[in-house]
Homo-oligomer: A and B are copies of this chain.
Amino acid sequence: MMLKTHHCGTLTKADIGQTVTLNGWVQRRRDLGGVLFIDLRDRTGIVQTVFNPDFSGDALAIADRARNEFVLAVTGTVVERDAETVNKNLATGEIEIRVTEIEVMNSAKTPPFPIEDSVEVDESLRLKYRYLDLRRPEMQKTLLLRSKASKIFRDFLDNEGFIDVETPILTKSSPEGARDYLVPSRVHEGEFFALPQSPQIFKQLLMVGGIERYYQIARCFRDEDLRADRQPEFTQVDIETSFLSQDQLLGMMEQLAARLFLETIGVELELPFQRITYEDAINKYGSDKPDLRFGMEIEDITDIVATSDVKVFASVAASGGVVKAFNAKGCGHWSRKELDDLQPFAARYGGKGLAWITIKEGEWKGPIVKFLKPEEIAALTERLQVEEGDLLTFSADKKKVVADVLGNLRLKVGRELGLIDDSKFKFAWVVDFPLLGWDEDQKRYVAEHHPFTRPKDEDVHLFDTDPGKIRAQAYDIVLNGYEVGGGSMRIYKRDVQEKMFKALGFTMEEAHESFGYLLDAFEYGTPPHGGIAFGLDRLVMLLTGRTNLRETIAFPKTASATDLLMDAPSTVEQSQLEQLHIRTVLKPKPEAAKPQE
Contacts and interface: CB of A to CB of B under 8 A. Distances in A.
Interface of A: 1, 3-4, 23, 25, 41-43, 69-71, 105-109, 111, 129-135, 139-140, 143-144, 146-147, 150-151, 154, 158, 163-173, 179-195, 201-202, 205-206, 208-212, 219, 221, 223, 226, 232-233, 235, 242-245, 248, 492-493, 517, 521, 523-528, 553-555, 557, 560-563, 565-572, 576-587
Contact of A130 (B183, B205, B233): B205
Give the dominant DSSP class at A's interface: loop
Nearest to A21: B243
Q: List 7 tightest A-B contacts by C-beta distance, closest first.
A: A134-B209, A108-B525, A172-B568, A191-B569, A69-B525, A185-B569, A147-B164
A508 B76 CA distance: 38
Given A131-B206, A191-B570, 4 more contacts: A109-B524, A168-B563, A181-B193, A192-B572
A190 B209 CA distance: 41
Contacts of A586: 189-190, 581
B524 A132 contact: yes
B584 A173 contact: no
B209 A195 contact: no
Contacts of A150: 164
A454 to B, nearest CB: 11
A585 to B, nearest CB: 5
Contact of A182 (B144, B194, B576): B576
A572 B173 contact: yes
A210, A525, A526, A555 — which one has the most chain B CB atoms within 10 A of its CB? A525
A5 to B, nearest CB: 10
Contact of A170 (B43, B131, B232, B560): B232
A187 B569 CA distance: 10
A289 to B, nearest CB: 25
Contacts of A107: 525
A25 to B, nearest CB: 6
